[in-house]
Every structure is written in structure tokens, then in C-alpha cells.
Structure 1
Amino acid sequence: MIRYPALRVAYIEEKEEIIGDKPQKVYFSILAKAVGTFDQVIYRIKLPGPPIIGEGKPENQNHAIIFTRGEALQTIDMNQDNYLEEALKVRNLLQEFHHNRGRRPPTILGLREYIFTESVSTLAWFMSYQETSFVTIGQRLLANPLRVRFHYGHPDVFDRLFHITRGGISKASKTINLSEDVFAGFNSTLRRGCITYHEYLQVGKGRDVGLNQISKFEAKVANGNSEQTLSRDIHRLGRRFDFFRMLSCYFTTIGFYFSSLISVLGIYVFLYGQLYLVLSGLEKALIIEARMKNIESLETALASQSFIQLGLLTGLPVVMEIGLEKGFLTALKDFVLMQLQFAAVFFTFSLGTKTHHFGRTIMYGGAKYIPTGRKVVVFHASFTENYRLYSRSHFVKGFELLLLLVVYDLFRRSYQSSMAYVLITYSVWFMTMTWLFAPFLFNPSGFDWDKIVDDWKGWNKWIKEKGSIGIQQNKSWQSWWNDEQAHLRRSGYGARLFEILLSIRFFLYQYGLVYHLDISQQSKNFLVYVLSWVVILAVFLTVKAVNIGRQLFSARYHLMFRFFKAFLFLSVFAIVITLSVICELSSKDLLVCCLAFLPTGWGLILVAQAVRPIIENTGLWQFTEVLAKSYDYGMGSILFFPIAILAWIPIFSEFQTQFLFNPAFNRHLQIQPILEGKKKQK
């Protein structure tokens, strides 16, 4: 018999009470029961202060736990469900609280999850297998023998009496406890609790099914892990664990994200090292010396590890798990099919998401909850939305890696074979292309021509729209650009200085390439480098002149402004051509000059953003904004061009839809244009 079928935690009540002859606000947590159209206050509990002081989800849990009864609590999410046959096993599960696991009975019982959204799309399938790897192999290993399993938002069952007397099941400090669930596990372990894992009972779970949803979720988790890295809980666990549990805890929590960050940083160090070797001439000298002494070539050394770098071995645990559950033939077939459906592209892109948000939060702090919606829905994301989400986390980094690879290729051709270049850089090329184009590859109707035309119109409107108070970042580039610098506005001098030091790498191109060209006549005089800055200054002054001309003439003297702009750009073009003829620069040298100056401009933008409080009220900041808009428009246009070319080929859109989405969604995509056409006719 259910005694209170309509119980619910309804609201927070705010009242004024006279305390010491002065009115003060007091707050109550209310448990209400719905009867008809009215609510009968069942319980009212006075709170010590304003209730909303921390993160939303743990605040809700702390608010509700005081009304719970019994000896066990199950934490279950909105995107989870259960099955009748699984509910019959709950009595067996609760008996686990009375069996010792090691020295003492468990305080948290972990459960397995079944992902029921795996059939929506290939991305949902990838996430399902990733979750399978984590909630079966991973959880099983964490619980025994590593003994470092915590709480990860799964439908775990808590010993209520243990936790309600030890601070509850959630910590709600703003920002620090963004990933509030794992702190429940930290809290339980630090207070001599025991956490187990049981696979005989499972609960259904709906995972994110679109790339943007998945990326937002992974960004939130990466932010949460960076805050864990800085938290006292991890410090206390590390100090109190024995050596082996300490290592297990590290590599199964923050160590995974830290290792990913180090891997990506290693790629940057490797490529900038290659840039130094090729521009300084040291690599050429070493290779020529090796050939003269008949030393084994670099190709031989790299060939042995090139296949390992494909990363195929990383999928071995998943193959073994699926093989045990469904048979090894099924496991092998699924693994091959995943590779054909661009699983490597998805997971490489996911690596960029994790490292960007983990690194940024470690350096600047300020992690915040990113809502994903968790809806089982797949829809076309506009080009503007994709650019806003991935510009700084993937696109800028992808263009930087692309520039490094191109410059390295231009200067190594005279002395190094193409095979050596391929063996050294093929994995970086793959990562670069993935970071630049994966959002469009996995975007529903991403290569539909009508959608592409609408995306281009929306992109231009977004770029040109003025930003001001109340204008959201999805409406204006200016609003988005200002929001992107929020991490710097709350940073101290140390973080700003670190940002400037990181930005210095963009000036290395110019310095190295200027001295490498014939224009320097092998001279190492510093004036040669200064002259290159004179050229940059001339280009910047031209852009500034165009901006001033737009303010003065564009509204009333539109034709005059067009002539003025054309005259300036033709003048700059004539100067560049004249200088190239006088200095006898080849077409390759001209390309190198462009490649040298592009990173310099981006470096100047980053430095200006770091010192914004100093220059914000000067003309330099307005110029920085104009320059930043030009770079963003240029990067967006470069990304848009190949997408438009592929969209012009009808078969490619059909191939993408059939290959990446399930039949039901394919039919939806085919019917949707017809319905939209009927609406337009009306």
C-alpha cells in the first residue's frame, strides 16, 4: 500500500520574521502533498540561510534528502529507467549491505547500466560502446582489485544512515563540486566507507546522441575533473591511500585527463621542435651527415612504430568485453564496422574537447555547468553554432597544426624523402583534419545544399551583427567574442602573463622564416627582423584606414567608400609585388611570407586580449576587435568552402545520411524538406 502517492518537494518558502526587533528573511524547505488543486504542507524545515548557494543538482539532493525515510537511497537520473525483472532483484541487492566486502560492509552499491539509445545514430553507438567499456570493464576493475571505485552518477544505492550522518550524498560548493557525484564517493571513502559494484542488476540509461550534445557533456566532465585536480578531496585521498591505491586513484580519475593533455602538448612540442630544426638547418645537416656515414635512415626507425600509432590496440578491451558477452565474431564485426563509420574520427575529436576544457580550467579556473538537454533528438546544427562551439577548442588549434605541417613540408623537400615525412606526420595530419571537419561530417544534413545556403546567410548575418547589452552570443559575433574572453577577465596577473608567454610561439614563424629567405642575404642583422615588422605595421595601418573609412563614408557615401577601399588594397598589393620583384622572391618565398605573417597577427590578438584592461579604452582595442573579426571570418570561410563543394555533389549528402544515421531518422530527413516546402507555399 502506498501511503503518500503524491508527495513531492514543492518549493522553498521565504518569510520575514522579527528577530531582535529587526525583520529578517528566513527560509523553509517544504514537503507538500497534492490533493486536487491544492498542496497540504506535510513537513516544513527551517534552513540556516539562503538555499541556492552552490551547484543546482547537489543543492536539490541536499534539499530533498532530509525528507527521505528508510535505510537505503537510490540516486537515479532523469535520463534513466528501470525494468520490472530488474526491480525483482532489489531485495537481493539490499542484502549486500549486510555482507562484508573486505573489512566492513559496503556503504555504496554500484550498478551496471544499459544504454538504450545506441540505435539512433553512429555517434550514439560509439557512446554506447564507450559507456559499456566504462560501466562494465572499468567499474569491475575499479571495485576489485583496485578498490578505488567512487560514484559516477550511476543509479548507485547509498547506505542512508551512513551518509546522512557524514555530510549527505552531495557536496554543493559552487564551481569546485561541478561533478558533484564523484565527490560522494570521495566523501564515503575518506570516512572509511566501502564501495562495491554488482552486475546482476542493471538500469537503462539514455546517452547524448548528437555531436554537440556529446561535446557539451564531455566539456562539463573535463571542467569537473580539472576542479577535482585542485580540490582538497583528491589531496586527502592521495595522502591517505597506500602507494598502489594512490596510483590506481590517479590513473582512473584525473590522471586520464592529465595524460590526454600531455599527449596533445607533446604533439605541439614535437611540431615546434621540427619547425626549429628545419628553419635552423640543423635537421638538414644531421640527415646529410647520416647519409655520408651510412647510418640507418629515419624511415627505418619510424616504420616499426607507425602501425602502433594507428591506435587500433586501444580498442582491444572493448573487443574482449563484447566478445565475452556476444561472441568474438560479433565483436570483430562491430569493431570493423565502427572503424568504417569513422569511430577514430569521433574519438580523436573528443580528445580535443577534453584537453581544451581541462587545460583551460586548470590554468584559469571558473568551471561552470553546461546544460546539454539530454534529449533523444538529432537535428541539423547551423554552421554558426558549430563555429561558436568549436572555434577555440578545435578550429584554431587545427589551423595552427596545419600551418606547422605545411611550413615543415615546404622546407624539408630538398633533403628528406616523402616517405619519412609521411611516417613522421600522418597521425598529426589525421588529427588536424579531424579537428577541422568532424563537426560537419557528423552533422545531420551537413551537406544538404539548401541547408548550406541558409548556413552561409546566417554566418554572414552573425558576423556583421553588432553586439551590445542583452544581445546573446548566438546572435552576434561581437557578443560571442567578448564571452570567449571571460576566463581572462577573472584571471590574475600570473595567468595573464602565462597567456602572453604561450602566445610568443606565434612570433617564431616570422622570426625563423624571415632569416631563412634569400631576402636576408644570409644576414643575421636584427634590422632584417625589424623590417618585417614594418611590413606588418603597414598592413595593420591599411586595415585601420579601411575601418575609419567605413565609419566616415559607408553610410552616406557608399560608392566613395568602395573606391577608397579598392585603392588601399591595390596599393598594398602593388607594394608587395614591387618588393618581391626587387628582392627576387620566388612564388614559394611569397607563400612563406604570408605563412609567416598570419600567425603574427593572431599572436598580437592573443596578447591584446591578455592586456585588455590596459588598452580597452584606447584605439588599440578597437583595432584588435576589427582584426579578430577578420581572422574569424577568414577561418570560417576557409572551413565553409570544402563543405559547400561537397554539398554541391548530391550523392555525398545521401551517403552521409545513410551511413551515419538509422533508417527511421533517414526517413525523417527525407520527409522534412517536403514538409518545409509545403509550409513555404502556404
Structure 2
Amino acid sequence: MNIPHAPQVEKMMAFSVLTLYYNEEVLYSKEQLRTKNEDGISILYYLQTIYDDDWKNFMERMRQERIVKDDEIWITKLRDLRLWASYRGQTLFRTVRGMMYYHRALKMLAFLDSSLEMDIREGIRELGSVGEDVGLDGFNSKVSPSSRSLGGASSSLNLLFKGHEKGVSLMKFTYAVACQIYGAQKDKKDSHAEEILYMMKHNEALRVAYVNEVSVGRDEKEYYSVLVKYDQQLQKEVKIYRVQLLGQLKLGEGKPENQNHAIIFTRGDAVQTIDMNQDNHFEVALKMRNLLEEYKHYYGIQKPTILGVREHIFTGSVSSLAWFMSARETSFVTLGQRVLANPLKIRMYYGHPDVFNRFCFLTRGGISKVSRVVNISEDIFAGFNYTLR
């Protein structure tokens, strides 16, 4: 396969990523990590067993920060422990971290686009003179691991940046998470709402969409689709858009309704849909601008409107059943769909990493069908809908 030539970041197609969330785990709590199930196994013990090497490396880092006894981590480094576990479980934090690799990748590529070889060499020499402040892992050694993993610390690469890279990246990439009941969670002082706010605070390209329910009379209510972000200067959550809905959101199936109400808040020429059981890699994020160039090439008499992307499911290591389900997805979503696309030319759509031509689908009713019972599996109907129209 010939990969399309990658343009400069400033000239690439802008895109968004959309993830659906209802009331699943955002970040494991202390109680969840310690509570044992009927078999006497806690989540933390299970993760320590599955990721034995990762746990040893984590504890080694903690001991460098003056953790003598293992029990001390529950008091002095609880946030780091919760993040370590959440990044290895099926949580929203893990998916958001993976998708935010796009932001980091675009910043690095924007720097390379505008830098001369001499600039890079001078930057490397400056990094060598930084000394003890920057460790071998490229992060400031005085910053806590939680800040490192969330991208809040100053990495060695950030020392090379000229200042415009962040703006270019934010222009080309937006990440929207459709947290349908986030407004209700805030009203109830739910811990999930606090964790979502913490997530927005440490990911500047992240936006959260939710449905706000407002009482206007005794029995009357108004519904609004709201988009919020965390303002780093004001140090608080701010509303970007507030769009009134005609009525209650959930008339059809819940997941596609959530998807269609939030798609209006995406930006750019393309939108990638991601499930909460999916992750991403920095190396894959580097190739996104190559992928988007496929929209400019004709395949037959038309340009493509849906680009198939391989699905990376991280829950395959949980159990033998999860491994089987993951292998089934690899067979059907990746291998089978490629055959349907070429040479059969009959592929519609299946798989949530797929990238949609945003303008085509916004003008054709969205990317999901929501009728109850009829459209239970909303995914495949995106391709049917576009073909029939």
C-alpha cells in the first residue's frame, strides 16, 4: 500500500475525535482499588498480577521519591496510584490519554515543519546543559508522575518548541467527549464530575458535551446541548456553546442519540469515532495527516467519505473470553472489512475507529440511526444512509 504524502501540519485537514460516555468509570477510586470481590481479589491485585513488570517499575519510581514502605503509597502518592491503575483498566482516562497523543504528535510535527537542522542541533546542545532538572525519561524530575502522565510537565521536547506549535495543533485537532449526564452529575456532586473536570484541566484540547435539563415551570422542562472546556487563565470550567433542543434527548436508542447530539460540536473536515474500550499510540498519531490525505484521492468515480482504521482494543488481555472477542473484532473489523472494500467494493461501515467526512454526514442526518428496536446496531447504518442518499 502506498501511503499518501504528508503535508505540513498547517496545511493538513483539520479533524476531531468523538467519544461517547454515560456513567462508566473515569478514574478508579481508592475504595474500588482495595475492595475485594467474592473471590477475594481486588482490582489493584489483579492489575499487579497482569502487569507485573509495570508495577515493579512504578514502585521503583515511587521509591526514588522517598516512598520507603509500600503502604505509604496509599497516603502520599494516592493520585499516582489511581492513575497507574486507571491507565491499565477500562476507564475514560485511558481512552482520553490515548486520543490526546494526536495533540502531542501534531505539536512535534509542527515544530519539525518549521525548524532547520541547525535549530534542532542547537536545541539538543541546550538540553545537554539542562543537567539534573531533566531526567532520562525526558521529564522534569521534580514534577510528580501524575503530572508527567497527563502531559502537564515540561518534557525535554517542549524545551525545543518555539511557541507556535500549540496553537497550530489546537487549530487542527479537537477532542470532544459526549458525557450525556455530566450536568446531572455536577448537580449531585458526583465524584465522576470532579474527575471529568480534572481530566479537562490537564488536557487543553479536550471538550465535554452534555445535555442540560432546565425546569421552566411546574411540569415544563427545557433541554440544551452544552459544550464546555477548562479555561487555563480563569482556572475554571467555561461554556463554549449552548444549543436548545426541541425536546427530550433520549427518544430513540441511547448511544446513537448521545452521538448525534454531540457531533455538532466537532470541528474540521473529518471526525473519528472512538469507543471507551479503545486506546491509541503515539506512533499511530504521527500518521494521521497521511490518512486524511486519502480524502483527496479518487477511488473509482468518487472520493471516499468513510476511511477504515484498524481497531485497537486494549481489553484483550483481561481474560480468555476477552481475548476471543478481541480476535473476533480483528478478523471482522480489520481483515473482513478490507476484503469488502477491495476488491469487492461493497464495504459500508463498521468499527468505531473509522474516520468520517464530517461535512457529508452532518448534512445527511449524522453518523447514527436512532430508531428504537429497528436500529439497535447503529454503526452499520452510517454507510447504508450515505449510500442510499
**What is the TM-score when the length of structure 1 is the normalising length?**
0.26
Bigger share in helix: 1
Q: Which has the higher contact order (CA 8 A, sep 6+)?
A: 2
- Alignment TM-score, normalising by the size of structure 2: 0.44
Pair member with larger Rg: 1
